[in-house]
């Protein structure tokens, strides 16, 4: 489990790593840790999977990836894991989750996200996905995004919510 200092470190680094020659020393100075302690803790958090990756977080929309579809399927419970794993291996898919159904209004239990430069490319990729993962027979919906009202990184600490991310 993570301790209070890890929490504070994650909270600080989620504001963005400083763009200066000794960024980890700067982060440490904000929360009372030495540079080597910061590096050791971040390394451990990464090894434990509490940091999935550390690096540049890009804004897809600003780079021309304007089409974004959330695709959802209603897959029988006994098949959903297998199909989810197949979908997640495709290069153009960037998220794939199982979520609960919500009565008759929302019978869908498998979600994936496809980013593309246009709706056409996203739909082409979806057609490839359906062929490769044999999902054609299952009910599905394609929800393209329109306006983005808010986009920010996950901030999991109780205090000092960060204000930026994409």
Partner 1 sequence: MLTPLHKRLLNDYQRDFPLSPTPYQDIALELGVTEEDVIDAFVELDEQDVITRIGPVIPPNRIGVSTLAAIAVPEAELESVAQVISAYPEVNHNYEREHRFNLWFVVIAADAQHLAQVLADIEQQTGYPVMSLPLMEDYFIDLSFKLDLHDD
Q: What is the distance between the alpha carbons of residues 99 and 54, in angstroms, rounded to a whole number?
A: 26
* Of 20-28, 122-130, 131-139: span binding partner 1 (CB under 8 A): 20-28
Applying CB under 8 A, what is the total number of residues that bind partner 1? 79
Is residue 145 near partner 1 by the rule CB under 8 A?
yes
Nearest to partner 1 of 32, 55 (CB atom): 55
Q: Count Cα neighbours of 116 within 13 Å in the Cβ-side half-sphere.
A: 17
Is residue 158 near partner 1 by the rule CB under 8 A?
yes
Q: What is the distance between the alpha carbons of residues 53 and 13, in angstroms, rounded to a whole number?
A: 13
Helix (H) or strand (E) holding 78: helix 77-88
Q: Which residues, 106 to 125, sit near partner 1 by CB under 8 A?
A: 106, 111, 115, 117
Helix (H) or strand (E) holding 10: helix 4-13
Nearest to partner 1 of 54, 127 (CB atom): 54
Is residue 71 near partner 1 by the rule CB under 8 A?
no
Q: What is the smallest separation between the CB atom of 81 and partner 1, expressed in angstroms?
A: 7
Residue from 3, 32, 52, 78 that binds partner 1 (CB under 8 A)?
52
Q: DSSP letters along 112-126, please?
A: EEEEESSHHHHHHHH
Residue from 79, 107, 128, 157 that binds partner 1 (CB under 8 A)?
157
Q: What is the distance between the alpha carbons of residues 126 and 116, in angstroms, rounded to a whole number?
A: 11
């Amino acid at each position: 489990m993570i301790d209070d200092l890890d929490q504070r470190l994650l909270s600080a680094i989620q504001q963005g790593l400083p763009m200066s020659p000794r960024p980890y020393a700067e982060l440490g100075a904000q929360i009372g840790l030495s540079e080597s302690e910061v590096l050791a803790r971040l390394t451990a958090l990464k090894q434990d999977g509490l940091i999935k990756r550390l690096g540049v977080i890009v804004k897809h929309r600003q780079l021309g990836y304007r089409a974004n579809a959330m695709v959802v399927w209603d897959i029988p419970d006994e098949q959903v894991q297998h199909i989810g794993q197949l979908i997640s291996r495709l290069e153009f898919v960037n998220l794939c989750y199982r979520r609960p159904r919500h009565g008759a209004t929302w019978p869908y239990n498998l979600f994936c996200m496809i980013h593309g430069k246009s709706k056409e490319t996203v739909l082409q990729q979806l057609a490839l996905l359906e062929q490769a993962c044999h999902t054609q027979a299952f009910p599905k919906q394609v929800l393209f995004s329109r306006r983005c009202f808010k986009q920010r990184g996950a901030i999991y600490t109780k205090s000092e919510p960060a204000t930026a991310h994409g």
